[in-house]
Structure 1
Amino acid sequence: MPKLLHLVASPRADSESSAGARAFLDRFRQARPGWDVDEMNLWRENLPEFDGEILQAKYARMGGRAFTDGQREAFAAAERMAVRLDLAERVVISTPMWNFGIPYKLKHWLDIINQPGLTFRFDPSRGYLPLLKDRPTLVILASGGDFTTGISRGRTDLATPYLREALRFMGLRDLHFVAIGPTSGPATHTAAARERAHRRLAEMAARF
């Protein structure tokens, strides 16, 4: 059964990014009833701290050294998460923008799986090369301000370029971004932004 992996980066079930994901996934399930949707809530997932044995495992692999037993056990957590991503034919990331960037849980997940020999490798003559196969990947990004029409009053969207580069580094290049914003302010503005985004998401889901 083909699988879509949905990474949930908001701690709130009623958040705008979560609502956008529901609008997308409801239509996706209608269009592709034979697909399995694997939801990975990063706030409920047991994400290991990136220190100690798992950190030493990364440097052991970078230095061409064999793992100790403790390093092998710690690195297995990163391998399981990377495999869960790699088994998905489609990926959806729903996330709020926090302080112009991404929530620390999403960064935490990226730091765990972005490992040499796991999601990328280094070739002396060609540089860094991704190890994951490409697949359609959608990022639903909700922000309190409006970063889509140029009225963000000088603030900068750091989340989109960061996620684009981090995902491409591992091999995910077929990227699509849908912004939802503003999510705060006059109700007429937030409702219009939500409606525009949900309409676009439903249209995308039918062919994703």
Structure 2
Amino acid sequence: MAHTVLHINSSPLGDHSVSRKLTENLLTELKKKHPDTLVITRDLVSSPLPHLSDITVGAFFTPPEQRNDALNAALVLSDELIDELFAADVIVIGAPMWNFGIPSSLKAWIDHVARAGRTFTYGAAGPESLLPPGKKVIIASARGGIYSSGPMKVMDHQESYLRAILGFIGLHDVSIIRAEGVAMGEEAKQAALGSAGVQLDEAITHITT
């Protein structure tokens, strides 16, 4: 079965990035199983997105019939990013923990795609997704320390935030490939990468079933 994959990378560390290696490995394995997989890539570091401005936010909340040319122009990028999200069967996100959260580049992408009237709406029972059901999300999560358990768990505003905001727009089928403790010495890093490799295989199986 062919897939359209939206591939998002946000680490500024280039070839030293663990999350980039994980997304690359994931796509390599997926293409081995499905050579006709179409990948749409957004590198938020080499091609950064602008953070929202007063004009962009104003355009978000102005009814289409009341928008002028400037407001319509402000929505072009957001519409393009949202169209990519609609087109994707699978969303692969490279997301390192950065100061206990996510890189600002990834937050900018989220701010463009989490948009009332396009990806969600407010109904009588609260927010409702406007995205087609059935999309799968794979998050490649890299962490210098240990945040999935122990005393630092309370500082996890990375994976917890991503699950929350993705769920808010209707993306509930989320798997995480996690490599944590990568800054705690070479032995810990290799153990983290080994564990992530097992999780990657499981994620591939989940995509293809």
Residue matched to 1:109:
109
Residue matched to 1:3:
4
Residue matched to 2:47:
45
Q: Please point out which of 31, 34, 48 is paired with 1:32.
A: 34
CA distance in 2, matches of 1:80, 1:25: 23
Q: Which runs of 5 or more structure 2 residues have no equivalent in the other structure? A: none
CA distance in 2, matches of 1:177, 1:58: 31
- 5 Å matches for 1:1-208? 2-14=3-15, 15-61=17-63, 66-123=66-123, 125-134=124-133, 135-148=135-148, 150-151=149-150, 153=152, 156-208=155-207
> SS of 1:60's equivalent?
coil
Deviation at 1:29, TM superposition (A): 0.8
Contact 1:21–1:94, Cα closer than 8 Å, also in 2? yes
> SS of 1:176's equivalent?
strand
CA distance in 1, matches of 2:30, 2:153: 36
Aligned residues: 204
Deviation at 1:153, TM superposition (A): 4.5
1:73 partner amino acid: A
Q: Which has the higher contact order (CA 8 A, sep 6+)?
A: 1
> SS of 2:61's equivalent?
helix
CA distance in 1, matches of 2:199, 2:45: 27
1:71 partner amino acid: L
Q: Deviations over 1:137-158 (max 9, x none)?
A: 011110000223x245465211
Q: Deviations over 1:21-60 (max 9, x none)?
A: 1221111111111111111101123523311321211232
- Of all paired residues, the percent bearing the same amino acid is 27
Contact 2:138–2:203, Cα closer than 8 Å, also in 1? no
Give TM-score scaled by structure 2 length. 0.90
Would you identify which runs of 4 or more consecutive aligned residues in structure 1 move more than 6 Å? Answer: none
Q: Deviations over 1:38-89 (max 9, x none)?
A: 111011235233113212112324xx86212111111121111100111011
Between 1:48-57 and 1:86-95, the stretch displaced more is 48-57
CA gap 1:152/1:140 in 2 versus in 1, 3 angstroms: farther
Deviation at 1:199, TM superposition (A): 2.5
2:12 partner amino acid: P
CA distance in 2, matches of 1:155, 1:53: 36
Give TM-score scaled by structure 1 length. 0.90
CA distance in 2, matches of 1:145, 1:139: 17
